[in-house]
Chains A and B, each alone.
Chain A
């Protein structure tokens, strides 16, 4: 009984400390992404999403803050693929990104991207492949509704780990055009996790 009482005493303290921590530190304003409710999303963004992806169920909505303002993003599984749909702060569609497997890329695209990796890296390992569709609102809706690809810009974003020819070992994100030609590269920084490493 004594141990139980002590445990109750201890847990009360823990809950109290946690509450103090949450309440005390919740007022920071920094650049970040936060989960939001659907009702906080502009109506036109919701309407576009449910028109283009009629069978979508319970998309998760996020508000993303950056130096230039904020945008909205819906993330959801659809037809066995993970989708991210980005809207500007007024709710206008910006782009749609869909995760896919290497084997789902066209042979021509695979070949071109494969050549890039072969020329630039000693070793590489694919982490995430996304196809990105951007364009005017009506064009994007027609693309997803009726499979019409007029006015649609297609790019591929590929996250990969590898060692480049200088011996630098990193995680990168490469952007490629619709034929798999290299466009740009950026380094993905892995956040420090010393709290669980040491």
Chain B
């Protein structure tokens, strides 16, 4: 348990490593994820994420509070089961964003650790993003997530859980290196096997190295269905 806390602390370090932000915007972030298990136990996943800005400090006093579409992301993955706790996936992604539509290909390796009263997931991901008039952007990401049942040692249908994750993202574009961090803290409920709803706070910080620091705070509402 102590080792887990130390690891989580290290992952969270980028969140606290800089002072007052330059750019800040916030809003709502609904997401829906559908996962179909195939007969050979591989999986196909479709996911849609939508980000709507409610507050943006770049807009000046009058227009700070708003309801503006920021981006909508569509993605699909094919996931190969390696064993009961490990899998490998490739994915494609399309982003709709005003003047910044983008395409992305994603490769990932994920593993789950079952501890006595919580489950840990480690996700290693690389992706390459292609946008018009932009150089290719290459990223490496590692996400550590904890799912902690709130009632009993295992998560049973009808029970709530905390989900906490942190993901440092290392980014290379046009020979410039950048760092981003995403921290998520949320409350979820497992309704039935494979049906989850999560309310969470998603706190993203980037621009640590090349640009001015930027923070984004999202109220995330996620629906996850596996069948």
On A, residues with C-beta under 8 Å from B are: 2-3, 6-7, 10, 13-14, 17-18, 21-22, 25, 28-35, 62, 75, 82, 127, 161, 163, 169-171, 188, 190-198
Contacts and interface: CB of A to CB of B under 8 A. Distances in A.
A193 B79 contact: no
Contacts of A163: 83
Interface string B29-55: 000010100000001010100000011
A82 B153 CA distance: 14
B156 A33 contact: yes
A29 B158 contact: yes
A186 to B, nearest CB: 13
Which secondary structure dominates chain A's binding surface?
A: mixed
A35 B64 contact: no
A62 B89 CA distance: 38
Which secondary structure dominates chain B's binding surface?
A: strand
A180 B156 CA distance: 32
B85 A33 contact: no
Interface string B172-213: 000000000000000111010110111101000000000000
B141 interface: no
A30 B84 contact: no
Given A2-B64, A33-B154, A190 B163 contact: no
Contact of B33 (A14, A62, A195): A195
B151 A161 contact: no
Interface in B116-137: 116, 119, 121, 123
A14 B160 CA distance: 16
Interface centre among B163, B165, B187 (most CB of A within 10 A): B187
Interface residues of B, number: 61
Given A21-B199, A197-B110, A28 B116 contact: no
B120 to A, nearest CB: 9
B110 to A, nearest CB: 5
Contact of A35 (B151, B165, B224): B151
A191 B47 CA distance: 20
Given A14-B201, A171-B84, A198-B47, A32 B157 contact: yes
Nearest to A190: B84
Ranked 3 nearest A-B pairs via Cβ: A32-B156, A28-B158, A33-B152
Given A6-B55, A190-B85, A32 B159 contact: yes
A192 B197 CA distance: 13
Interface string B76-96: 010100111101010100000
Nearest to A75: B153
A152 to B, nearest CB: 26
Contacts of B55: 6
B11 interface: no
B33 A198 contact: yes
B193 A192 contact: yes
A28 B26 contact: no
A168 to B, nearest CB: 10
Given A34-B152, A197-B123, A3 B158 contact: no
A10 B42 CA distance: 39
Nearest to B198: A195
A45 B47 CA distance: 49
B43 A194 contact: yes
A195 B121 CA distance: 10
Contacts of A192: 35, 193-194, 226
Contacts of B54: 10
Contacts of B153: 33, 62, 75
A34 B157 CA distance: 11
B74 interface: no
A171 B189 CA distance: 25
A7 B178 CA distance: 27
Given A18-B187, A82-B116, A170-B84, A196 B156 contact: no
